[in-house]
Structure 1
Amino acid sequence: MSHPHEPAPTGPVDLVAKDAPGSVWAPQYLWVTIGAVALIFLAAMQALAVTTVMPIVAADLDGAALYAVAFAGTLATSVIGMVAVGAWCDRSGPAWPLSSAVLLFLAGLVIAGVAPTMEVLVSGRLIMGLGTGGMTVALYVVVARIYPSELHGRVFAAFSAAWVVPSLIGPFLAGAVTEYLHWRWVFLGVAGLTLVAYVLVAARLWTTPMDSAHPSTDRILPRMLCAFAVAVGALGLSLAGELGEWAWAGVAASIVVIVLAIRPLLPARTLRSGRGLPSVILMRGLIAGSLFGAEIYVPYLLIDHYDFSPTWAGLGLTAAALTWATAADVQGRFGDRLGNTRITVIGTTLLFAATAFAAATALWQLPAWVLISTWALAGAGMGLMYPRLTVLTLAYSTPQNQGFNSSALSISDAVGAASAIATMGLVFTALTVTDAGFPIVFAIAGVLALLALVPGLRMGHAHEAAR
């Protein structure tokens, strides 16, 4: 691992690309950019679409008992995919790992699309999780090996934008496909498009030398065992609510398992917010927990307290998606000029302000437009911080550990979100007999946003624009 305050060595492709045009849409990057963004777009589309169709799927396959597992299992297996692909990339480059992850994603989609029972569909979702987790990590390494460092911010801004369109049209499109065709085409249609997207990346993927001159020799088996334990803990967190009066015990046990097992999967001193890369990884988990834990209660509040229809209740999330994309583009263009400290302060302030306004709206029954308009601040804050943390992760990495560090970032993201969602869900359920549920969950999200300042101000600078 490179020293936190020294420029990380570049890979062989970075050296070739020093004089490349300053655009991710330049001819030598065009098809990789299109294909990679398309893969991110399709993974996002599938994740958002399945939320819409899963109630219909469960009813059609008589699988209500496995409804939660269909979601939680995908998150759990994604952690295993992240670790496996990260280690593989460090040993042999990203070509084979990305191809294998895409194949697993495709296999999971096809199995889910043709599933005769809910048990088979859940097995497809588990395989899909392996693919999506691995695909994200492999694409990060592809970015590190193909694009020069000064373009990393713009690539990740494009990745952020690839999540916006699915958030706007994904649920509607999935509903229309289900209504006019069949829910199976929500899975099978994405499978066909994923194959096309991979073909766009494949030509450059297999013709560009992306292997490291000094591949990692770290042992993979211990990390895989830890990944499996983290996956079990994440699954336990997601299902703790089913334990009734023992729910909090389930959460505590799951968190203990995760904390013990996750340490070897993260850079040293991450849980203690060590300076440099460890703080980058920790901050990602905290802001993911803040936003993703709170945002599921935004439409819930609009429906429960303001009698919004499900369609109109999504307005707050739509506004946040748009501001996220806009802020990500700003970060991609001017992130180096703004600097990491300023991005941290602005981003966490915007995220905290959004959660504070949401808590105030719920507590004092403020007009609905206050919640809808101010939740956009959360998207703006995340748009500044999220892609910047990915840029920093690659800047702190060497070709020998780009896969490990990328998987650590994704694991922190997934576990932070899962832990916050599970904890907030139990708090909210415990307070359903009072009016305090919504204000408290938004307050928890605000605390996480403030806590993110601690690692955010310890990230340092990896000379990410000067490599």
Structure 2
Amino acid sequence: MTDPLSADPRGFTGPVPTVPPSEPGVASLWDPRVVWVTAGSVSLIFLSALTSLALTTVMPIVSADLSGEALYALAFSGTLATGVIGMVASGAWSDRAGPVAPLTTAVLLFVAGLALDAAAPTMEILVLGRLITGLGSGAQVVALYVVVARVYPPALHGRVMAMFSAAWVVPSLVGPFLAGIVTEHLHWRWVFGALAALTVVAYAMILPRVRHLSSASEHPREAGVGRRLLFAVVVAVAALALGTTGELAESITPALGWTIAVAALAVIGFAILPLLPRRTLRLGAGLPSVILMRGLIAGALFGAEVYVPYLLIDRFGFSPTWAGLGLTAAALAWALSAQVSGRHGDRIGNTRIAVIGVVLLAIAAIACALTPVLALPAAAPILLWSFAGFGMGLMYPRLTVLTLAYSSRANEGFNSSALQISDSVGASATIAVMGLAFTSLSGTGAAFAVVFAIAAALAVLALAPGVRLGHAHER
């Protein structure tokens, strides 16, 4: 009989024997044996998030300085697209040789992209830097997940992922503000340069402790790596095409935008299959449902989140600063519930976490959809959107913990990359479709209601895989 752990990594989705931790007896994230891994890993996640969020403040000024308004959107979407390629490459490499080499390469790409942006003489060069940064960012997160699986015992995985969630939340509170101060008093180039330098420092914290990590004694078969990379490129190109549909609908005709959107979604749906565990799109129990649910809730949350400040500005006359209140409340709720999930997730249970999280996310989206229809006060979307943050904080880190629990050393990289790909493609595809719907309905009064209704529908749909998550060895 063929060992399922050494076969195609997409084929094994049940619980696996837990791998003994690299440091037996580690009971805390701040144990002297792992403290620098904890600090460095969280710092890398923080800086990756800060790089993404700081651009919301910096890019308008950058595009004006470099006369690159036409490439403004590509500076964002291109990073997300190349990230998919980085995720697949890093996952396959981590399974074959351990996480150190792919993590090192990812950090080098990330820093090189930022350095190129800091010195970019034209917008074309800056976008090239963003594409390189995307490769590094996607690969970096996957490699860090494998580091977590190899260094920490399973009992601490939930707490590590809770800290990773907090590392994504804090930049949403301070990132745009700090980037604005640096840009105003120094120059936007300093933002990119500082992020590059800090990333090197964060990586230096980790390297001495993880450089001994190697792959499993029995290497997985990697015959399909080239094919998966090819499909990752196809997904990235289709995602870029999907991201242009809103502009096409506005500048030419909505019919053209929808035609390209349907074609791009079909291509993504076909090309993504080899990048995910088998039966993911067929609601397979266990890991396939974990991966599918992550993509659905990412689409619901991040797609709708784009329009929460827009709703407050358009319907209630909020300034951009005050319109961020809804997102700030949700970010704080996310950080709080992530700690609850990390510490008490085993006690609450996976199905209960999924149901509670989905219900809270759906309530928040429905409240925002009804706000323009029923003329609800501004307090409704601001307060109720925090429900979405609380629900996501419960679900997001738990799904990562489950992914690692369903993995062995032979497929940690593949499964981690599948989780990130589902997350990234789910969010980018939903944002593109919502943008197309909003553009098509602009001026009708139904635009906001429809985009938030899409988010609510995705949240409810996530219940289907949510009740099929199962349990591995996370408890």
Task: Give the TM bin, normalised by the shorter chain.
Answer: over 0.9
Secondary structure of residue in 2 paired with 1:251 = helix
Is structure 2 residue 253 aligned with structure 1 residue 234? no
| 1:264-285 per-position Cα deviation (integer Å, ceiling 9, x unaligned) | 0000010111111000000000
Kept in 1: contact 2:361–2:456 (CA 8 A): yes
Q: 2:157 & 2:395 partners in 1: Cα distance?
A: 14
Is structure 2 residue 459 aligned with structure 1 residue 449? yes
2:427 aligns to what?
A: 417
How has the CA–CA distance of structure 1 residues 307 and 139 changed in structure 2, closer, same or farther, with 3 Å as cutoff? same
1:393 aligns to what?
A: 403
Residue correspondence of structure 1 range 303-322 to structure 2 within 5 A: 303-322=313-332
Is structure 2 residue 210 aligned with structure 1 residue 205? yes
1:218 to 209, 219, 222: 222
1:72 to 69, 73, 77: 77
Measured after TM superposition, the shift of residue 217 of structure 1 is 2.1
1:250 aligns to what?
A: 260
1:175 aligns to what?
A: 180
Secondary structure of residue in 1 paired with 2:470 = coil
Q: 2:156 & 2:376 partners in 1: Cα distance?
A: 43
1:462 aligns to what?
A: 472
Residue correspondence of structure 1 range 223-372 to structure 2 within 5 A: 223-243=228-248, 244-245=252-253, 246-372=256-382
| 1:299-332 per-position Cα deviation (integer Å, ceiling 9, x unaligned) | 0011111111111110000010011011000000
Measured after TM superposition, the shift of residue 31 of structure 1 is 0.3
Measured after TM superposition, the shift of residue 4 of structure 1 is 4.2
Measured after TM superposition, the shift of residue 365 of structure 1 is 1.8
Structure 1 unmatched runs, 5+:
none
How has the CA–CA distance of structure 1 residues 420 and 15 changed in structure 2, closer, same or farther, with 3 Å as cutoff? closer
Measured after TM superposition, the shift of residue 354 of structure 1 is 0.6
Letter paired with 1:421: I
Q: 1:429 & 1:77 partners in 2: Cα distance?
A: 26
Letter paired with 1:19: G
Q: 2:24 & 2:390 partners in 1: Cα distance?
A: 31
1:81 aligns to what?
A: 86
Q: 1:215 & 1:147 partners in 2: Cα distance?
A: 21
Kept in 2: contact 1:230–1:257 (CA 8 A): yes
Measured after TM superposition, the shift of residue 424 of structure 1 is 0.6
Letter paired with 1:350: L
CA RMSD in angstroms, aligned pairs only: 1.1
Q: 1:53 & 1:4 partners in 2: Cα distance?
A: 43
Q: 1:32 & 1:261 partners in 2: Cα distance?
A: 35
| 1:196-253 per-position Cα deviation (integer Å, ceiling 9, x unaligned) | 00000111121x3332111222221101100100100111111122323211111111
Kept in 2: contact 1:32–1:200 (CA 8 A): yes
Letter paired with 2:231: C
Measured after TM superposition, the shift of residue 24 of structure 1 is 1.0
1:144 to 149, 163, 167: 149
Kept in 2: contact 1:234–1:415 (CA 8 A): yes
1:52 aligns to what?
A: 57
2:437 aligns to what?
A: 427
Residue correspondence of structure 1 range 95-114 to structure 2 within 5 A: 95-114=100-119
What is the count of residue pairs matched by the alignment? 460
Q: 1:332 & 1:66 partners in 2: Cα distance?
A: 40
2:18 to 10, 14, 22: 10
Kept in 1: contact 2:21–2:152 (CA 8 A): no
Q: 2:59 & 2:84 partners in 1: Cα distance?
A: 22
Q: 1:389 & 1:305 partners in 2: Cα distance?
A: 36
| 1:107-166 per-position Cα deviation (integer Å, ceiling 9, x unaligned) | 000001100000000000000000000000000000001000010000000000001211
Kept in 2: contact 1:50–1:186 (CA 8 A): no
Measured after TM superposition, the shift of residue 19 of structure 1 is 2.3
Q: 1:242 & 1:323 partners in 2: Cα distance?
A: 34
Kept in 2: contact 1:72–1:239 (CA 8 A): no
| 1:351-382 per-position Cα deviation (integer Å, ceiling 9, x unaligned) | 00111111121222211111111100000000
Secondary structure of residue in 2 paired with 1:59 = helix
How has the CA–CA distance of structure 1 residues 141 and 364 changed in structure 2, closer, same or farther, with 3 Å as cutoff? same
Measured after TM superposition, the shift of residue 346 of structure 1 is 0.4
Q: Where do 4+ consecutive residues of structure 1 move more than 3 Å?
A: 1-6, 15-18
> Percent identity of the aligned residues?
62
Output the TM-score relative to the length of structure 1: 0.97
Structure 2 unmatched runs, 5+:
6-11
Is structure 2 residue 25 aligned with structure 1 residue 19? yes
Q: 1:16 & 1:348 partners in 2: Cα distance?
A: 35
Output the TM-score relative to the length of structure 2: 0.95
Measured after TM superposition, the shift of residue 29 of structure 1 is 1.2
Secondary structure of residue in 2 paired with 1:214 = coil
Letter paired with 2:464: V
Measured after TM superposition, the shift of residue 15 of structure 1 is 4.2
Secondary structure of residue in 2 paired with 1:211 = coil
